Structure 1
Amino acid sequence: MKKIKLTLCLLLGAFISTASHADILKADDSRIKAHLRFLSHDLLEGRDTGSQGLEIASLYIASQFEQYGLLPAGDNGSYMQRVTFRQSFLDQDSPEFVLNKGGETTELKYPKEFLVSPSAMYEDAHVSGELVFVGYGIIAPELEHNDYAGLDVEGKIVVMLSGKPQSFPSEEGAHFASGYQKGRYAAENGAIGTISIPTPRSEKARPYERSLNYIHVPRVRWLKEDGMPANTFAELKNGASLSPETAKMLFAGEKMSLEDIYAELEDDKSPKGFAMQSSIELSKKSEFKEITSPNVVAILPGSDPELAKEYVSFSAHHDHIGIAKTVEKDKINNGALDNASGTSVLLETARLLAQAPAPKRSILFVAVTGEEKGLLGSDYYAQNPTVPIESIVANVNLDMPVLTYEFADVIAFGAEHSSLKASVTAAAKYHDLTLGPDPMPDQAIFTRSDHYSFVKQGVPSVFVIPGWTAVDPEVDGAKKFGEFFGKCYHKPCDEFSEDFNWKAAVKFAEVNIQIGQTIANQMEKPTWNDDSFFGNTFGR
């Protein structure tokens, strides 16, 4: 530990000493304002993935990159990396769920008693088989946890609890409890379908009734070269989630009742799985539609003959959620702060770095699509990079900086996992800012934005936002963030305002520029910490 602290101090001293001889690049608030005003304008209709509005935004970003003299790094010598997506729409009249229990059959009612999502794989999805309860459905050897131990689920349908054990660390737990990971565990153990049941915690966080608002929303997946949707498991033919009342009925007469299971959860125990005395038949129909949307990618070449072969990447998503289905007059989800603000800062960062003396390493700018659909554009880029993935030494992600107050610190989600903490701390100190702690550790924010796509390919990454400490002691930054999140997140009121704090916008751009310069100019490339779960899981 003492050695680690000493190394950190030496790195900080080296970074700050180097930075002190450089001129601070001054951001232009009028340029940031102009970008933000355009990208969040009504004419772009909320920049939904696959929409004309997002195409216009992508062309605008590419034109700015070209003006700055950045090299195109998309497809065929262009700034655009075109991504093909499959939209899957559920036929609302098609879901059927028949429960066979004790010789009696019960046909469940959709969507009151169960929900299904559109299939990304099968237009006509059908599965039937015996049920096996598998607890949370998680295999985490690092945490000495295996819900499949001693269970035979070959050719069967697994029934799993939502979420994860409370004792799991927040960020690691978010990884293990993700839909992808749970699907992977099920498929690798031979299951052919999945049933998800709520817990008191999941029902409190996202009530079943609220999920009914999203039954018409299409599922979106990017397509691989063979035309198959990425990150899906063909072995899993179908799946559903149950209402609390239906879940209770499912466990009636079984080895454990749902009340027994919930009692164990209350004591933070992981219920042991067992073969159930029931089987089901589950079917649905989906319709497919292909759409395309681009990532916009550019490069600022580095100056060092060797280090220029490495890249520090900046990412920001430029998509949003489009037109709202609401009775209100304003139906356009403009996405001013989510994430026209981050994209505007990305553009100002690119402009200033292009005008300054070139850093030693090259800088990669990636404005990604499909974030709102599940980090899809960044996932596509990270799995299909336009530069070798092993040459990307770090990612700095800009997503939803709330520019409603001037901040006195910055937050870098994930900094504690790698040597990037020293780089970010040095850059922040250079601007008289401190590096604040994660204010929402229970939310596992590190796994919830585009940087995580780079993390999964082994790239040390940070997700930087304005901190919750305001310059004005009378201003509560946490309250300002909460007000936006509670009132306007993913709603039409997230729109451009002259009253945004443009000092905050300038400061945020300048500190991110300094972060990029610090990483690009330091001799040692960023490394994962030895005790980082993500470094040990994904690191190269």
Structure 2
Amino acid sequence: MISTLKTVGVAVGISLLLLGCTATSTKHQQALVSAEGISPSINNIKGHMSFLAHDLLEGRDTGSRGHEIASLYIQNEFEKYGLKPAGENGTFQQRVKFRKGLLDIESPTMVLTANDSEIELKFPDDFLTGPNLGNADVSLTAPVVFVGYGIVAPELNHDDYAGLDVEGKIVVALSGKPASFPSEVGSHLSSRTQKHAAAADRGAVAYFSIQTPAGEERRPYARSINFIRAPRMSWVDEEGVPGNGRKEIQATAFLSIDAAHSLFSGSDTSLDDVYAQLANNETPKGFDLDYKVSIEYKTNHEDITSPNVIGLLEGSDPELKNEYVVYTAHSDHLGISTSVEKDKINNGAMDNASGTSVLIETARMFSELSVAPKRSILFVAVTGEEKGLLGADYFVRNPTRPVESLIANVNLDMPLLTYEFADVIAFGASHSSMGEKVAAAVANADIKLTDDPWPQLNLFTRSDHYAFVKQGIPAVFLVTGIESRTPGIDGNEVLNKFLASNYHRPSDDMSQPFVWKAAQTFTQVNFEIGLTLGNDPERPTWNKDSFFGQTFGRK
């Protein structure tokens, strides 16, 4: 208890120091003024970021002391602005139980057996496996079935399991998806979660993935070997069952192309035949392989906890206050790296101290309104995003307010605040009526809404808002756009430079050339969106032609 109090004292002390040091003269600002004269404060945003991205927080890794300090800081800010606690047991926190797994890298073995022949594959040269969060000890022998891409998509008239019996067997699937699949839809269907679910639903006991030539060119197998010591994490329920996997899938592996050739040897269709079909834009059909496979490996488990921090601004309308607009931003990052670089702390200034700071400042602006929006607003700083969108997934599957009352999600993740932007992008806006509402809201801040300029990156399925989408809640992922107000600056080049030089690296720190007017503008845009959604007579609805609305929307 004493050490905890000391931690809080240090956090608050550093916070006040940094806020004092970062004060700038208002004569150099052209403040954006919103409803009732409320405007975003550059000093506040800069102060929040400076604290959250400080070396003393050691990169805010999920379950770490640094992330606990960050969570206490966010909670204190919510309390300061008069938000009500909306976590568990009358607190601001929703404590999430996680299981962390580390592979015993001396343990993996794999043997292919057919008739009297036996092929032993070597880890990690021939195959890779990762921590198993359901079973600490894996020992499995089963026949093998090739299942194409391993995707079932009736809406696209695609079923890789048609005519195949995989009950009690290991399925082997190509990584990725058919080239003909739409970008966002294909990203969902080809995700680990969906592929494992399709296999488990049909009785498979293990899932092996093999590389395509195109996939090998983009991300060589050899590069993946660098991550064999990386941990894996999942939230677990009260019984200790991992919440984002399928327990039926007892083992997983990723085979090198050479090892996959061995597995296909003896079959009427070789792996080269399968690759030739891919080259001709054909979809390979599945078939039984000749081998049985035995696989064994061990995982060391550790149970930890980490909080989501949740504050509530209660709505002003007697009826609509029971509906909630949910803002999210992830407060975690990667912690301390194991690299040989001198600086090992992944400060996560842009990813995502920036989004979290905007969330906090948006909460402050709402708290100063003389009359709150008609709907209630939930501000949720989620944990475990970097571990697989875990905190958001836990929150929306164990919500502290009825899930049917969560009407919209606005997610803030890694806005680029190093140039003055003239537009914003709201990934997912085309799937629901939130598109037109967001467009109207951002216009109030003299900003325009731009369509997704990077559909090939599948960003709609790659941040915390996607957990809401999968529970039928319309959502947008809001980021700064690529059109700059400053001549000679190309927003797309800024993004690519950040991804190449600073993304998920210790160099994502406060030494970057932040343009604080951009942070102010982004916060204003975010605030306007919440006002619009909070006061709109109608709650957002899915567009009729949206795959995600058809798949997840409530009937």
Query: With structure 2 as the length reference, what TM-score do the two structures score?
Result: 0.92
The correspondence for 1:31, drawn from 44, 50, 69, is 44
Q: Which amino acid aligns with 1:257?
A: S
1:231 Cα deviation after fit = 2.1
Q: Which amino acid aligns with 2:210?
A: I
Q: Which amino acid aligns with 1:538?
A: F
1:487 Cα deviation after fit = 0.6
1:498 Cα deviation after fit = 6.8
1:234 Cα deviation after fit = 1.9
1:267 Cα deviation after fit = 2.0
Query: Match of 2:435, SS?
Result: helix
Matches within 5 A, 1:342-491: 342-356=355-369, 357-491=371-505
How far apart, in 2, do the equivalents of 1:267 and 1:429 lie?
46
Matched, 1:214 2:231: no
How far apart, in 2, do the equivalents of 1:230 and 1:487 lie?
34
Residues 406 and 255 of structure 1: CA distance in aligned 2, closer, same or farther (over 3 Å)? same
How far apart, in 2, do the equivalents of 1:40 and 1:529 lie?
39
2:521 aligned partner: 507
8 A contact 1:255–1:276 mirrored in 2: no
How far apart, in 2, do the equivalents of 1:172 and 1:23 lie?
42
2:256 aligned partner: 243
User: Identity over aligned residues, as a percent?
Assistant: 56
Matched, 1:303 2:316: yes
Deviations 1:266-303 (A, max 9, x none): 22211000011111100101111001000000100000
Q: Which amino acid aligns with 2:428?
A: G
Q: Which amino acid aligns with 1:76?
A: N
1:204 Cα deviation after fit = 2.3
The correspondence for 2:148, drawn from 121, 124, 135, is 135
Deviations 1:167-207 (A, max 9, x none): 01111111111111111111111111111100122212222
1:497 Cα deviation after fit = 2.9
Residues 126 and 522 of structure 1: CA distance in aligned 2, closer, same or farther (over 3 Å)? same
8 A contact 2:264–2:290 mirrored in 1: no
Matched, 1:170 2:177: no
Residues 21 and 47 of structure 1: CA distance in aligned 2, closer, same or farther (over 3 Å)? closer
8 A contact 2:38–2:368 mirrored in 1: no
Deviations 1:232-269 (A, max 9, x none): 22222212110111112222231211111111112221
Greater shift, 192-201 or 244-253, is seen at: 244-253
Matched, 1:87 2:107: no
Greater shift, 224-233 or 51-60, is seen at: 224-233
Deviations 1:367-416 (A, max 9, x none): 00000000000000000000011111100000000111000000000000
Greater shift, 31-40 or 116-125, is seen at: 116-125
How far apart, in 2, do the equivalents of 1:253 and 1:99 lie?
12
1:461 Cα deviation after fit = 0.2
Residues 21 and 233 of structure 1: CA distance in aligned 2, closer, same or farther (over 3 Å)? closer
1:24 Cα deviation after fit = 6.2
How far apart, in 2, do the equivalents of 1:235 and 1:362 lie?
40
1:429 Cα deviation after fit = 1.1
The correspondence for 2:160, drawn from 129, 147, 158, is 147
8 A contact 1:255–1:274 mirrored in 2: no
Q: Which amino acid aligns with 2:509?
A: E
Residues 101 and 473 of structure 1: CA distance in aligned 2, closer, same or farther (over 3 Å)? farther
Q: Which amino acid aligns with 2:422?
A: A
Query: Match of 1:171, SS?
Result: helix
Query: Match of 1:342, SS?
Result: helix
How far apart, in 1, do the equivalents of 2:240 and 2:406 lie?
27
How far apart, in 1, do the equivalents of 2:257 and 2:490 lie?
38
2:111 aligned partner: 98
2:208 aligned partner: 195
8 A contact 1:138–1:146 mirrored in 2: yes
The correspondence for 2:351, drawn from 327, 330, 338, is 338
How far apart, in 2, do the equivalents of 1:147 and 1:135 lie?
6
Query: Match of 1:175, SS?
Result: helix
Matches within 5 A, 1:231-270: 231-270=244-283
Structure 2 regions of 5+ residues with no counterpart? 1-32
How far apart, in 1, do the equivalents of 2:256 and 2:389 lie?
27
How far apart, in 1, do the equivalents of 2:441 and 2:38 lie?
12
How far apart, in 2, do the equivalents of 1:261 and 1:452 lie?
33
1:10 aligned partner: none
1:228 aligned partner: 241
How far apart, in 2, do the equivalents of 1:178 and 1:120 lie?
18
2:301 aligned partner: 288
Structure 1 regions of 5+ residues with no counterpart? 1-19
**When the two structures are aligned, how many residues end up with a matched partner?**
521
How far apart, in 1, do the equivalents of 2:285 and 2:536 lie?
50
Instruction: Point out 4+ residue stretches in structure 1 off by more than 3 angstroms.
Output: 20-25
1:101 Cα deviation after fit = 3.2
Q: Which amino acid aligns with 1:426?
A: A
Q: Which amino acid aligns with 1:405?
A: Y
Query: With structure 1 as the length reference, what TM-score do the two structures score?
Result: 0.95
Q: Which amino acid aligns with 2:332?
A: D
How far apart, in 2, do the equivalents of 1:194 and 1:480 lie?
39
The correspondence for 2:76, drawn from 63, 66, 71, is 63
How far apart, in 2, do the equivalents of 1:218 and 1:420 lie?
37
Q: Which amino acid aligns with 1:373?
A: K
Greater shift, 474-483 or 431-440, is seen at: 431-440
1:103 Cα deviation after fit = 2.4
**What is the alpha-carbon root mean square deviation over aligned residues?**
1.2
2:532 aligned partner: 518
How far apart, in 2, do the equivalents of 1:530 and 1:451 lie?
20
Greater shift, 171-180 or 364-373, is seen at: 171-180
How far apart, in 2, do the equivalents of 1:111 and 1:215 lie?
8
Q: Which amino acid aligns with 1:466?
A: T
How far apart, in 2, do the equivalents of 1:466 and 1:411 lie?
6
8 A contact 2:34–2:524 mirrored in 1: no
How far apart, in 2, do the equivalents of 1:513 and 1:61 lie?
18
8 A contact 1:25–1:510 mirrored in 2: no
Q: Which amino acid aligns with 1:401?
A: P
How far apart, in 1, do the equivalents of 2:198 and 2:436 lie?
36
Deviations 1:12-49 (A, max 9, x none): xxxxxxxx994563100010000000000000000000
Query: Match of 1:483, SS?
Result: helix
Deviations 1:327-352 (A, max 9, x none): 11100000000000000000000000
How far apart, in 2, do the equivalents of 1:534 and 1:249 lie?
39
8 A contact 2:40–2:365 mirrored in 1: yes
Query: Match of 1:282, SS?
Result: strand
Q: Which amino acid aligns with 2:386?
A: E
